[in-house]
Each structure stands twice: as structure tokens, then as C-alpha cells.
Amino acid sequence: MDNSKFETEVLSLLAALKIRKQKIQEQFEVEMKAVDSQIEAVSTTARLLRHGASSTPTIVARGLVIPDLTGKNIRQACIEIAKRNDGIVRVKETKNALVAAGVVRRTKNSWGIVNTTLLRSKEFQKHPTELGTFKLVDTEQGQLSVA
């Protein structure tokens, strides 16, 4: 009898520790999201300081700063976005920027249109570790450009 009481206490302690771990994990994820958004904001500020204020109108779509894209096709606009964002293009952010610029209409498959354009373009290479991310390729040398 004494052994079963001890076992019950151990199991209840185990359950309490698992609940505590879950709460700490949730709190950690919230803090990590906050830090990620701060990093994104500071990175945008640093990029603006590095490139300076341009005379052409700019579009800001969730931290993505790009010049005026009117009259450009999707591929040309993606190249311009990549040049302004250290050679990196994220499909979700790029889609939002292209919609804001009027290059692409907001449809159910606008993400797929941008993704397919980047996949088929020889100017971009899919990032090996980040999903939905592409790097601008230096087409003259066949290597990745360093922005």
C-alpha cells in the first residue's frame, strides 16, 4: 500500500513538471517572436541607413523596403527587391510588396505565382535551409551575389 501511494505522488509530480515545462516553452516562444520582430525592425533601420534615402518613391510592406515597381514585371520586381534586401527574397513578403505596388493582383494563387517565377528564374537560387526564401545569383560569375 505504501508503495502505491508513493507511485501516485511521483506521477502527480511528473504531471506537474510537464505542465510547468509547457508553460515555460510557451513563454519562451512568445519572447522569441518579440525578439525576432525587434531584430527585423533594427535590420530594416540599418538597411535604410546603409542605402540612404532615395529620390524614388518607396513601398514598405511589412518591413520590406523597395523602390517604385510600376512598369516592371514580376521577375524584374523580385530582382529589385532582392537588391534592396541584401540579395534575399522571401516569397510571402515579396508577394505582399508586389500586391501593394500593383504588380500582382491579390488572388488565391498569388503566392504560387511569385514562388514559381522565382523557381524558374535563373537569377535566383532557392535557399537550402529556409522555406520560401531565395537568394539572388550573380549571373555573370554564376555565384551568389554578396550584397
37-50: per-residue pLDDT in tens? 888 888 778 777 77
For residue 143, pLDDT over 60 is answered with no
Mean of the per-residue pLDDT values of the chain? 80
Query: Looking at residue 142, what is its pLDDT?
Result: 45
Q: Who's near 117: CB < 8 A, 6+ residues apart?
A: 74, 75, 78
Residue 15: per-residue pLDDT: 94
Q: What pLDDT does residue 147 have?
A: 42
CA angle 37, 39, 43 (to 5 degrees): 120
CA angle (78, 131, 117) in 5-degree steps: 30
Name residue 121's amino acid.
S
Phi, psi (degrees; rounded to nearest 5) at 52: 75, 170
Cβ neighbours for 59, distance < 8 A, ≥ 6 positions apart: 65, 66, 67, 68, 69, 97, 100, 101
Is the pLDDT assigned to residue 69 strictly greater than 50?
A: yes
